[in-house]
Amino acid sequence: MAHSLKKLKEVILIEKIAKSFKSKDKSVVVSIGDDAAVVKKDKGSYSLYTVDMLIEGVHFKKGEDPEKIGYKAMAVSVSDIAAMGGMPKYALVSVGLPKDSALTMAQGLFYGIKEVSRKFDIDIIGGDTNRSERLVIDVFMVGEVERKRLVLRSTAKAGDHIFVSGPLGNSLAGRHLMFEPRVKETRFLGKNFKVTSMIDLSDGLGMDLNRVTEASHLGAILFEESIPKNKGVKNTRQALYDGEDFELLFTLGPQDAFKLMSGIDKKNKFNFYHIGKMTSLFLGVKMWTKDRCFVDINCDGFKHF
Amino acid sequence: MAHSLKKLKEVILIEKIAKSFKSKDKSVVVSIGDDAAVVKKDKGSYSLYTVDMLIEGVHFKKGEDPEKIGYKAMAVSVSDIAAMGGMPKYALVSVGLPKDSALTMAQGLFYGIKEVSRKFDIDIIGGDTNRSERLVIDVFMVGEVERKRLVLRSTAKAGDHIFVSGPLGNSLAGRHLMFEPRVKETRFLGKNFKVTSMIDLSDGLGMDLNRVTEASHLGAILFEESIPKNKGVKNTRQALYDGEDFELLFTLGPQDAFKLMSGIDKKNKFNFYHIGKMTSLFLGVKMWTKDRCFVDINCDGFKHF
């Protein structure tokens, strides 16, 4: 349920309609509107469910290596599960294959799917294979999370510190297809900290931070100098809006934030970056720039630089 | 995971490759190869998972009423869950929408989806909406079944009696889009009988009976005169091979079969038809015709009439 790549305005409207379907079932903890749906499993844990569809000509070009497409289709869903604090468990994969290259395509896709399933110990337990004019792949993933480790995007608090799990921007240079979903990171965080909110960065820090502030009814401030950038990233705009980073954006209370920051370079091998703070709703989403001024960070861009 | 409509030979080969992925996880009871995957949920019940993808130009024509497509996409998955003896619980729906008609299409699809979700009390808890040149809809469904009521296609026994839940054939006249998944029937059967095997008829009695006999390592014999036919069905071939009936095909031991047959017209409002018997593997899958002779029933047709 990542919002990967730019979407039609109509599609965003449709998603809003969909969100209006409220769940009546008491075992549904979170329905449409977070990275994954959350359903009570047993006393101590929740089931997590997410789907992500990739379509030729929209999410990847015709002729793209099917192995990479298979990898990405799986990895995007793993990233959604990670963003809830959970672990992936099972996957079902639907594919639509063009007739003229069905076998070679399927083989490539399977290699990519297998790579992710092996890396994260995910069982492929079902699927549906069809003929299609254009390649389509849709991965449904089932995950699991301990009740106390579930993290939503709607539960950040004013004063919380904002972190990302890696450098941002320029992902379309190749990393958007072969990225590493942050499962180890989310499990480490859940074990050692009380993570107050989390989302995976599919549409870029600018848009996804706005999703967190909207869901949590808060504002936020980013420190431009602290935003980590990937190689080849020329400016902050790219780090904010390129999208498809698939890093985790999360918040911690002041004590936990201090604990994480003091140990970042010593106790663990992860790369967490402290990039800002949550503020109250009426302050909006801002960035404190290198030039020492505030700019608004909107979903689709920011005002001046 | 219905095998709706005729598939490419390559696709069938791919499905065989997929089946070769054996699950290592001990909580996976049934992986690829039945109507739905089965995973341990809690002490008394299993979770059921299935996906079904419908693609414009393959499963339905361009210009087909989107409400009917939405209905069918959901109903096909409900039918898969019913074929395991279970009840549908939650669904996640991925759609790819053509740009020029995204909103009206989405609205139509949602009406159809809503109809099924209301009828069977299914919560829509997630989804993914994308742009696509051709309409694609992929439904992932989560179901539940009591452990003792789970029915597989691989557990029929020689001597069991074969039943179907309704008349067959000519479904492409319209019923293939707006059929009634047999949830009430499967729940009635599970409560009152020990159902020894079950499958839903997506590719027609001829092919799907062969799936049951193959999975159960048995043969079968059908009685031509007993096969119930829909209006407009001119011959037995249509009842066997038209496909998309979405009736349940199931087997009962002799005692249960007698109990069901003696009560069919009195105690319940369902229409179960006794159509044959399971035999041993070396007898193959046959039909005893009206002309008092045996014919072979293969996946793709039968030999003479």
Collect all residues of chain B within an 8 Å Cβ-Cβ radius of residue A42: 41-42
CB–CB contact B128 A142 (8 Å): no
- pLDDT for B214 equals 93
Percent helix, percent strand, percent coil in chain B, to nearest 5: 30, 30, 35
Collect all residues of chain A within an 8 Å Cβ-Cβ radius of residue B138: 51, 53, 94, 128, 138
Collect all residues of chain B within an 8 Å Cβ-Cβ radius of residue A92: 37, 49-51, 140
Per-residue pLDDT of A104-159, as tens digits, reads: 888 899 999 999 999 999 999 998 888 888 999 999 999 999 999 999 999 999 99
- pLDDT for A47 equals 96
Question: What is the CA angle B135-B139-B145, rounded to 5?
Answer: 165
CA distance A89 to chain B (A): 9
CB–CB contact A55 B131 (8 Å): yes
CA distance B189 to chain A (A): 25
How far apart (Å, rounded) are the C-alpha atoms in residues B274 and B212?
Answer: 16
CA distance A11 to chain B (A): 6
Using the structure block, give the residue that is written with the tokens 């038809």.
B273
Q: Which residues, in sequence order, are CB contacts of B157 under 8 Å at separation 6+?
A: B196, B216, B218, B251, B253, B278
Closest-CA residue in chain B for A89?
B25
Cβ atoms A131, A105 nearer than 8 A: no
In a mutagenesis test of the B interface, which of A48, A53, A103 is the best target, namely the one with the most B β-carbons within 10 Å?
A: A53
In a mutagenesis test of the B interface, which of A14, A25, A118 is the best target, namely the one with the most B β-carbons within 10 Å?
A: A14
Closest-CA residue in chain A for B30?
A125
CA distance A52 to chain B (A): 6
Mean pLDDT (whole number) for A71-98? 96
DSSP per-residue codes, B9-53: HHHHHHHHHHHT-----TTEEE-BTBSSEEEEEETTEEEEEEEEE
Using the structure block, give the residue that is written with the tokens 């001990």.
B26
- pLDDT for B251 equals 98
**B108: helix, strand or coil:** helix
Higher pLDDT residue, B7 or B182? B182
CA distance A287 to chain B (A): 30
- pLDDT for A266 equals 61
CB–CB contact A92 B131 (8 Å): no
Strand-pairing partners, residue B131, are B97
| Facing A102 at nearest CB: one of B10, B42, B99 | B10
CA distance A172 to chain B (A): 19
Closest-CA residue in chain A for B114?
A21
CA distance A140 to chain B (A): 7
User: Identity (one letter) of the amino acid at B112?
Assistant: G
Mean pLDDT (whole number) for B287-291? 93
CA A297: distance to chain centroid?
A: 19
How far apart (Å, rounded) are the C-alpha atoms in residues A34 and A186?
Answer: 16
CB–CB contact A41 B41 (8 Å): yes
| Residue B243 pLDDT greater than 60, yes or no | yes
| Facing B106 at nearest CB: one of A14, A132, A142 | A14
CA distance A292 to chain B (A): 40
Cβ atoms A112, A72 nearer than 8 A: yes
Q: What is the ipTM of this complex?
A: 0.87
| Residue A305 pLDDT greater than 50, yes or no | no
Mean pLDDT (whole number) for A170-193? 90
CB–CB contact B58 A128 (8 Å): no
Task: Single out the residue of B204, B208, B222, B207 nearest to residue B288, CA to CA.
Answer: B222
How far apart (Å, rounded) are the C-alpha atoms in residues A287 and A227?
Answer: 10
In a mutagenesis test of the A interface, which of B94, B135, B144 is the best target, namely the one with the most A β-carbons within 10 Å?
A: B94
- pLDDT for B130 equals 87
B53-to-A92, A157, B95, B139 alpha-carbon distances in Å: 12, 41, 10, 6
Collect all residues of chain B within an 8 Å Cβ-Cβ radius of residue A18: 110, 124, 127, 129
- pLDDT for A42 equals 86
CB–CB contact A132 B94 (8 Å): no
- pLDDT for B4 equals 40
Written as six digits, the tokens of B227 are 């096969």
> In terms of C-beta density within 10 A (0-12 exposed, 13-18 middle, 19 or more buried), how is residue A293 classed?
exposed
**Region for residue A159 given its phi and psi (left: phi exceeds 0; alpha: psi -120 to 50; beta: otherwise):** left
Cβ atoms A193, A256 nearer than 8 A: yes
pTM above threshold 0.80: yes
A294-to-A249, A284, B268 alpha-carbon distances in Å: 21, 11, 72
CB–CB contact B138 A133 (8 Å): no
Q: Which residues, in sequence order, are CB contacts of A71 under 8 Å at separation 6+?
A: A112, A113, A115, A116, A177, A178
| Facing B123 at nearest CB: one of A31, A125, A130 | A31
Beta carbons within 10 angstroms of residue A238's beta carbon? 19
CB–CB contact A129 B57 (8 Å): no
Written as six digits, the tokens of B171 are 């479904």
In a mutagenesis test of the B interface, which of A76, A140, A142 is the best target, namely the one with the most B β-carbons within 10 Å?
A: A140
Written as six digits, the tokens of A296 are 């608004």
Collect all residues of chain A within an 8 Å Cβ-Cβ radius of residue B31: 123-126
DSSP per-residue codes, chain A: ----S---HHHHHHHHHHHT-----TTEEE-BTBSSEEEEEETTEEEEEEEEEEEBTTTB-TT--HHHHHHHHHHHHHHHHHTTT-EEEEEEEEEEE-GGGHHHHHHHHHHHHHHHHHHTT-EEEEEEEEE-SS-EEEEEEEEEEEGGG---SS---TTPEEEESS-BS-GGGTTTTS----HHHHHHHHHHS-EEEEEE-SS-HHHHHHHHHHHHTEEEEEEGGG--B-TT--SHHHHHHS-----EEEEE-HHHHHHHHHHTTTT-S---EEEEEEEEGGG-EEEE-TTS-EEEB-SS-BS--
Task: Single out the residue of A174, A247, A235 nearest to residue A205, CA to CA.
Answer: A247
User: Identity (one letter) of the amino acid at B273?
Assistant: Y
How far apart (Å, rounded) are the C-alpha atoms in residues B279 and B161?
Answer: 10
How far apart (Å, rounded) are the C-alpha atoms in residues B145 and A47?
Answer: 16
Collect all residues of chain B within an 8 Å Cβ-Cβ radius of residue A24: 123
Per-residue pLDDT of B86-98, as tens digits, reads: 999 999 999 999 8
Per-residue pLDDT of A256-285, as tens digits, reads: 999 998 876 566 688 899 999 999 998 999
CB–CB contact A125 B31 (8 Å): yes
| Residue B100 pLDDT greater than 60, yes or no | yes
Mean pLDDT (whole number) for A198-223? 95
